[in-house]
Amino acid sequence: MTYIQEKVTSTGGLTSHLVQTDKFKTNTLLLQFRAPLEEATVTKRALLSYVLKSATAKSPTSQELQSRLDYLYGATLSSALSKKGEQHIITFVMTIANERFLSNEQELLKQALSLLGELVFDPLIDEHAFDSKTVDKEKRALKARIQSIYDDKMRYASQRLIDEMCENEPFHLHTYGYEKDLDNVTPTDLFEYYMKMINEDAVDLFMIGQIDEEKILPELEHIFPFTKRVEKLGGIQNQDTIIPDQERVIKESQPIEQGKLNLGFRTNVRLGDPLYYASQVFNGLFGAFPHSKLFMNVREKNSLAYYCSSSYESFKGFIIVMSGIEFSNYEKARTIIIEQLSEIQNGAFSEHDMSLTKALLKNSILESLDNPFSIADILYQQVASKVQFTIEEFIDGIENVTTEEIIEVANQTKLDTTYFLQGAVKTN
């Protein structure tokens, strides 16, 4: 059974990915720009994602742009920023009605694609600079977004762990850039970087839904006239192996009510490595699911955490543990978290736990096929990593993981950094 039917074509500097499916009553479009994570550009890229989606030369205000979306039967438009390993991704997303469900014939998909092309190729500019009012407005919006991360202590603690753990790697750079750099970006600077992005970024377009490919594919070269380019981005297999020589412990105090204890481990197992599927199962046993060791022992048995779970960052080979605890439980919680790793290293897990973990991992990827954004993410993960796999291969890979492989992954999982966000010290 083929779970995802993808057709990939290249026109100029654009790679298009067409996924035919009748699961959805909408068609989803994602236009994605990919470049290396660099300190000099990360804030400009973040701001650019805001500026480009807010206005075009033909629709110079957000209200006018929204009116055009409303005319397209309530189409939605948004932008997003993300990291995949040490690559920075800008994504423009449009969701539109499937024209097959409309009573009158209208080339809705072509109009939506044309609007996406307009965002990118006909932005609101004043000679060789972006419109200053638009830039100022979007700077304020981006500043608020950056500040919101500080206010969300769970996300803030996650960001601070990566700051410390990856201080000498591009991965430490913040997805939304830095407030301190934002004021220095002028409309002219931003336009200069925009031209570089348009001409040099790796660009992918995902179209998911019921797509008339005979009509649409020939139009893409005209709608998105990206010039051919040589991709400078490598995959994820050429990263250095980093084995921590000693654990780093970082403690920070703020006036908060609940402590955030996060631990960063390095497995050095990444997507495409022989032990990749074993790493997925190991993470599931360790902390990803309700039956995992972290949940059962840190939270349930010992009542040391409000939440405690782990996640696997497959582009970097990290296992990240996140927990919310009482300040006084720091030493106990940290000790028991590390003990759970030792348990798996010693093979202290049952066949039942392993089978349940495998079933949940397989169900998770199958459930993701019910969401067009998840489908796009599965495919884009392969583009960015340069590691190809099918859903069938993922399911088989998970099913074939052995006890010995899980123990092997666990034994090469080394604690790199502990970050603890605690309450401010009270003074009399």
The per-residue pLDDT for range 53-76, each reduced to its tens digit, is 999 999 999 999 999 999 999 999
- Tokens, residue 308: 């405690």
pTM: predicted TM-score of the whole model, two decimal places? 0.96
Say what the pLDDT of residue 236 is: 81
Cβ density class 97-136: b for 16+ within 10 Å, e for less:
bbbeeeeeeeebbebbbebbbbbbeebbbeeeebbeebbe
Rounded to an integer, what distance in angstroms lies between the CA atom of residue 31 and that of residue 120? Answer: 10
Domain extent listing, the chain = 6-223, 248-423
Length of the chain: 428
SS3 132: helix
**What is the enclosing helix (H) or strand (E) of 250?**
strand 248-254
Question: pLDDT tens for residues 364-386?
Answer: 999 999 999 999 999 999 999 99
From CA 151, how far away is CA 177, in angstroms rounded?
16
Q: Phi, psi (5° rounding) for residue 265?
A: -110, 150
Angstrom distance (rounded) from CA 302 to CA 297: 6
Q: What would you measure as the largest C-alpha separation in the chain, in angstroms?
A: 75
**Residue of 376, 370, 380 lying closest to 24 (CA atoms):** 370
Q: In degrees rounded to 5, what are phi and psi of residue 12?
A: 60, -125
Beta strands 259-266 and 87-97 are: unpaired
Supply 219's token pair: 């139009």
Best CA proximity match to 77, nearest among 54, 107, 46: 54
> What is the SS3 assignment for 302?
coil
The fold of the 6-223 domain, in CATH, is Cytochrome Bc1 Complex; Chain A, domain 1 (3.30.830)
> Class of 248-423 per CATH?
alpha beta
The pLDDT of residue 426? 59
CA 329, CA 339: separation in Å to the nearest integer? 15
Q: Would you tell me the crossing angle of helices 351-368 and 276-283 to the nearest 10 degrees?
A: 110
According to DSSP, residue 130 is labeled B
Let me know if the fold of 6-223 is the same as that of 248-423.
yes
Q: What are the CA-CA distances from residue 331 to residues 86, 153, 248, 262, 399 (Å)? A: 33, 20, 15, 13, 37
3-state helix, strand, coil in the chain (%, to 5): 45, 20, 30
Print the SS3 string covering 337-376: HHHHHHHHHCCCCCHHHHHHHHHHHHHHHHHHCCCHHHHH
What is the pLDDT at residue 239? 79
Distance CA 272, CA 290 (A): 27
User: Residues of the chain whose pLDDT is less than 70?
Assistant: 103, 105, 425-428
Q: Give the contacts of 351 (CB within 8 A, at least 6 positions apart).
A: none
